[in-house]
Amino acid sequence: MRSLTPFVAAVIIVAACGESKPIQSDTARVAQQATGALPTGEQLLSVPDGRIWYKKSGTGAGIPVILVHGGPGFSSYYLKSLEALGADRPVIRYDQLGAGKSDKITDTSLFTIAHFVRELDSLRASLGYDKIHVLGHSWGTIVAYEYYHAHPEHVASIVFGSACLDIPAYERRARSLVATLSDSAQKAIKVAEAAKKYDAPSYQSAMNEFYGKYVFRHPVEADLDSTFKTANDAIYNYLQGPSEFTITGTLKTYNVTSGLSAIKVPTLYTVGEFDEVGPEIVRGFAAMTPGAKLEVIPGSAHITTWDNPDVMLRVVREFLAAADAGVSPKDSARTP
């Protein structure tokens, strides 16, 4: 995701969300981090080149799950609803280095898949977990896949949420969705891309129209605000590009579909009914992955944990419980 302009972000928040409980201000969080007075369950972990924020919750005895957020360069606010898995197991929600509540970085040598994989393994090791379930969403599915490839011995199962495992296919899908936008939005995109002026207000407005259809339909007000306030556009631009549908970054040719047949742990794919990544693309990934289960989350765009949190939570909970018990994911399937 790319940052919305403040005005349009405010419009989306007011139009899509109801009242929410007050949250701690970003200024207060920074002060807490500086003094080490983080809320219960939250910690800062030193990793190469900085500190990452994480929160451990849950009292269940199941195998722990680590949530790997999307972006790149964004944060884990939108994954909060999955902390309800804590009734079954420890849940670790963290912000990747560079954004969210973690330390900011500008060094592009750190903007690599290998860096974020090492960071995830540092978190796992620091927590003393030998086996974990890895739940990645969007860009986080790339980190999850590469983590499994590097450390299969530590992975009990994988959840690929709105998988971006074939960026060329994703880009074609996203470009096709541009044709469903208003005429003014399509014109603004064409003009901005020709001039490479991606900060043009008309382009930003077109991008926000795309978000409202295919990225999130029912955002959580406070978390949407925090997400964009703490985003790192430099990481997003370097790895992805100027928008969800204009891919110019280092991930442009990323495609690991040839390796999906080698996954040997229980695997769940989830995708929103109106997801920008395309249910048909994710269905293909699931078909390539031995024994994998696919769940299409109804009424949802890309951020299923906002658009239909109850169904997303249920299908993940059932999958992880079955994986703990050694049950085939297909045997545990239940249509939402």
Active site residue 302: yes
Checking if the pLDDT of 3 tops 90, the result is: no
Catalytic residue among 115, 133, 137, 302: 302
| Topology of the domain covering 6-325 | Rossmann fold (3.40.50)
pLDDT at 214 over 70: yes
Long-range (24+ apart) CB contacts under 8 A made by 259-262 are: 259/145, 259/149, 260/165, 260/285, 260/288, 260/289, 261/288, 261/289, 261/290
Preceding peptide of 48 cis, ω within 30°: no
Which residue, 292, 288, 286, is CA-closest to 258? Answer: 288
Q: What share of the chain has pLDDT > 70, as a percent?
A: 86
* 202 confidence band (pLDDT: 50, 70, 90): very high
Q: pLDDT per residue over 303-322, tens digit each?
A: 999 999 999 999 999 999 99
Angle at 284 between CA 282 and CA 290, to 5 degrees: 105
pLDDT, tens only, 35-89: 356 777 999 999 989 999 999 999 999 999 999 999 999 999 999 999 999 999 9
Q: Is 174 exposed, middle or buried (0-12, 13-18, 19+ CB in 10 A)?
A: buried
Catalytic residue among 275, 300, 324, 332: 275
* C-alpha span between 138 and 237 (Å, rounded): 16
Q: Helix count (H) and strand count (E) of the chain? A: 12, 8
Neighbours of 321 (CB within 10 A): 16
Residue 278 pLDDT more than 90?
yes
Alpha carbons 34 and 14: distance in angstroms, whole number:
33
* Helix segments in 17-82, DSSP class H: 26-35
Percent of the chain with pLDDT over 90: 84
CA distance 21 to 43: 23
Domain ranges for the chain, please list them: 6-325
Whether 107 is catalytic is no
Of the residues 102, 138, 162, 205, only one is catalytic, namely 138
Residue with token string 């994988």: 158
